[in-house]
Amino acid sequence: MSGLDRVDAKIVQRMQKDGKLSNTKLASELALSETACWRRLKRLEEEGVITDYQANLDRRKLGFGVMAFVQLTCNQHDAETTERFERTIEQCENVMACHNTTGEADFLLQVVAIDLDDYSRFVDQVLRKLPGVSAISSNISLRELKSSTRLPV
Amino acid sequence: MSGLDRVDAKIVQRMQKDGKLSNTKLASELALSETACWRRLKRLEEEGVITDYQANLDRRKLGFGVMAFVQLTCNQHDAETTERFERTIEQCENVMACHNTTGEADFLLQVVAIDLDDYSRFVDQVLRKLPGVSAISSNISLRELKSSTRLPV
DNA sequence: CACTCATTGAAAGAACTCCCTCATAAAAAT
DNA sequence: ATTTTTATGAGGGAGTTCTTTCAATGAGTG
């Protein structure tokens, strides 16, 4: 960990678990003075170690019954095609994440949809129309054994 | 969306973007009274629509240079093997997410590691030793085109 | 030792937030 | 139309939090 000591690690660890934790409580948990804790926290935010705070939502309670991982293979790799591809992905709200990966396929997308109909429509109308895509392979999540966005600090 | 009106949607949308937003500010942004806003927020939390709050961290700044998606195929599906499998996954901090999926493989894991050495060690010492695993296919992220944990409310 | 540099701790006022109470208004139901 | 239910607004007190200032401690260096 680049330049982070034990105390910093505990701070980010703690804030990852409870983003609403006040500096006051955080300080007392770490047996640190309010001031020292506050400055560390601010530094971690300024340095970008802590990027932001967010509320986590229950996707099912919001009506997103489907979560899928899609592997895309491309056959065109020129600049323009790539750029159009990336722009579409960026704008598409259903796409939560998109990674350029090693392996058979070129991209792996994490996608949410209301239901299978909605998902199917998304694949047909968005993914199949993406420029340069030659293969699409869907892996729909049947069950989330584990799902967190917390790094093992 | 099950029982959420337009205002609720805006609340979760807003809190997803900024988990530290105070009720006071949220209310004034939505042109709502503090009281009404507060009660809605509490309700959303109680109903579990908002599950929790967290600080998001920059994985690279914490030294996690590798993020990979691993597909596992299993050949044993009896209760005991499954349970041991799930327990291991649950405890393993490197594994950020694990989904039982449709498609060729049975599981898709999202894994972080310090570097490729660390990742390789993880695959050999943890994944290969998992009970009933017959195939492992790694897809390492070369680039994150998009990475969010925000639902398109 | 004297010096710097970095980090910490205590204190305190201003600012802000939470959360409750009471009253009002709109909507739904009987 | 009357009652019941549900959501809203205004106000305000109690409590908490932020953020600054000033002093102290300790580590490392010449």
Beta-carbon contacts of B124 under 8 Å, excluding residues fewer than 6 positions away, are none
Dihedral sign, Cα of residue B89, residue B95, residue B99, residue B103: negative
Closest alpha carbon within chain A to B17: A54
Closest alpha carbon within chain B to A13: B55
Asked if B69 and B139 count as a contact pair (C-beta separation under 8 A), the reply is yes
Q: Rounded to a whole number, what is the distance in Å from the CA of B65 to chain A's nearest CA?
A: 11
Residue B1: is its pLDDT beyond 80? no
Q: pLDDT value at position A134? A: 94
| Residue whose pair of structure tokens reads 């680039």 in the numeric block | B143
Residues of A with Cβ-Cβ distance to B101 under 8 angstroms: 69, 139-142
- Chain B residues 44-103 with CB within 8 Å of chain A: 47-59, 61-64, 67, 69, 71, 86, 89-90, 93-103
Residue from A153, A124, A70 nearest B99 by CA = A70
Q: pLDDT value at position B146? A: 95
Using pLDDT thresholds of 50, 70 and 90, give the confidence band for residue B121: very high
CA angle A121, B139, B65 (to 5 degrees): 120
DSSP output for B81-138: HHHHHHHHHHH-TTEEEEEEESSSSSEEEEEEESSHHHHHHHIIIIITTSTTEEEEEE
Q: pLDDT value at position A150? A: 94
Single pTM value for the model:
0.91
Q: pLDDT value at position B84? A: 92
Beta-carbon contacts of B51 under 8 Å, excluding residues fewer than 6 positions away, are A56, A57, A58
Mean pLDDT, chain B, whole residue set? 95
CA angle A124, A126, A128 (to 5 degrees): 55
B75-99: average pLDDT: 93
The tens-digit pLDDT sequence of chain A (153 residues) is 467 999 999 999 999 999 999 999 999 999 999 999 999 999 999 999 999 999 999 999 999 999 999 999 999 889 999 999 999 999 999 999 999 999 999 999 999 999 999 999 999 999 999 988 999 999 999 999 999 999 998
B49-74: average pLDDT: 96
Q: Are A20 and B20 within 8 A, CB to CB?
A: yes
Asked if A153 and A16 count as a contact pair (C-beta separation under 8 A), the reply is yes
Residues of B with Cβ-Cβ distance to A140 under 8 angstroms: 101-103
The pair of structure tokens assigned to A150 is 């917390």
Using pLDDT thresholds of 50, 70 and 90, give the confidence band for residue B2: low
Q: How many CB atoms lie within 10 A of CB A141?
A: 20
Q: Are A53 and B55 within 8 A, CB to CB?
A: yes
Residues of A with Cβ-Cβ distance to B55 under 8 angstroms: 12, 15-16, 19, 50, 52-53
The pair of structure tokens assigned to A94 is 């259903």
Q: pLDDT value at position A2? A: 60
Beta bridge partners of B72: B107, B136
User: Residue A148 CA to chain centroid, in angstroms?
Assistant: 10
Q: Per residue in A45-73, is it b (16+ CB within 10 Å) or e — as a string?
A: eeeebbebbbbbbbbebbbbebbbbbbbe
Q: Are A20 and B18 within 8 A, CB to CB?
A: no
Q: Are A139 and B102 within 8 A, CB to CB?
A: yes
